[in-house]
Each structure stands twice: as structure tokens, then as C-alpha cells.
Structure 1
Amino acid sequence: MASVAAGYLPILLFLAVALALSVAFVVLPMIVGRLTGATNPYADKLSEYECGFPAFEDSRAQFDVRFYLVAILFIIFDLEAAFLFPWAVSLGWIGIAGWAAMMVFLIELTLGFVYAWKKGALEWE
């Protein structure tokens, strides 16, 4: 019975370290903020700080769909890069089946890029 409990010791240590880090990085700054008065709101703290001037439109305004298409294009090329490097390293081991699977993947990505191009995602007014 003791050997079974000893097998769980690394898991319990991992959980204890994770809990300690969570408290240190989440709860402790909140407590320090309360004690130092950082939560005292006033007009300067509540003002805009991203761009330096007050917003002139409603923050719930709809974005143009082209922003989302550009984001999708970014994800497409990010995935392509993330999959091409390990594939290129292991190409000698995976053989012709791995090469064919990557070609299918690249064709799908190319079709997605062509579709976005035809929809006008790369053209701005």
C-alpha cells in the first residue's frame, strides 16, 4: 500500500507547486493592490490610454469582415509554418505517405488562400 501512495507523490508535489505559483501570481498581486491603494479609481485612471484620445464611436461597432478574413489568412499561414518544419525534419522517416499527406495539406491551404483572395480579403479601400 505504501508503494501505491509513493507513486502519487510526484503528482501531489506538482499540484502543490502549481497551487503555490497560482497564489503567488494571481492572488498575491490582488492583495498587494488592495493594500497599496491601487484600486482607488479617479478620472485619470479611468481615461483612455491605448491611443491617447477619447473614443469617438461606440465600442460595440461592427468590424468589417475583411479583418476576420485577414485573421483567418494569418492562421492559415501560421499553421502551414508550424506543420512544415517538423515535416521537413522527419521526411526521411515518413516516406512517400508522409509526403503525399503534406501535399494534400498544402493544396487545401492553397485553396483557402485562393478563396480568400477571390473574396477580396487582400484588397483595401
Structure 2
Amino acid sequence: MDKITSDVRHQRWLDIIHACNASGLTRKVWCEQNGIKIKTFYYWQHQLRREVHDAQMAALPAEPEVTFAEVALPAPPKPVSYSAIDFWPATVIRIRILTIRVSNHAFREVLSLIRSVMKNAT
């Protein structure tokens, strides 16, 4: 089928689909009143929708290529070792039989964990 015939056929079916949608009738009733097989109607509706979709997809810009960049992480803090003799807690928390001794050098994560444990303990 040549391009002109194809364009005419597509335009004809586009007009039919628009007329059906504007009629206010169901597709089945409209097709029966206009002598069109419902399967043929749905076939052309599907074809035209696919063409519109394909054209829209072709018009979209290509997805950019994914690249990765190496990120240098800062060196972890040097661990501080304390012997039991050197350790002087800044805070001592006692709840019933639970005792928590916290140093001034405690990390935020540790303090956050202690807080969540205390919430569940009380």
C-alpha cells in the first residue's frame, strides 16, 4: 500500500473514531447504527493509538548515558582506646537495673541508639 492510500485510510478512521466519541453513544451502538464491525473499529483505534504513541516516543530526547564518578571518602576517625582505668564517664544513666555510662567522646549514632533503647525500656 502506498503512502497516500495509507494516509487517506488513517484519516478516514480517525474521523470515524472522532465521530463515535462525539456521538454520546456507546461504541457498540454507534458502530451498529453506522454499519461498522466493532472488531474493525477497535482494531483501527488500537492502530492509530499505537502510531501516536510511537511518534511521541520517537520525539522524546534519547536517555543520557549513565556514568559513574568515584567519590573519595574521608578517612574514618582514629579509634580511641580506653582502658577501664582511663575511662571516666561524663554521664551515668540508671533506669531500674540498667546502667549506662556515656563518655564525652561518644558518637551521635551511639547516643541515638541509647536514646531509643531508653524509650523502649521505660
Q: Please classify the TM superposition score into its range, dividing by the shorter chain length.
A: under 0.3
TM-score, normalised via structure 1 length:
0.25
Of the two structures, which has the highest relative contact order with CA contacts closer than 8 Å and spacing of 6 or more?
1
Question: Who wins on radius of gyration, i.e. which is larger?
Answer: 2
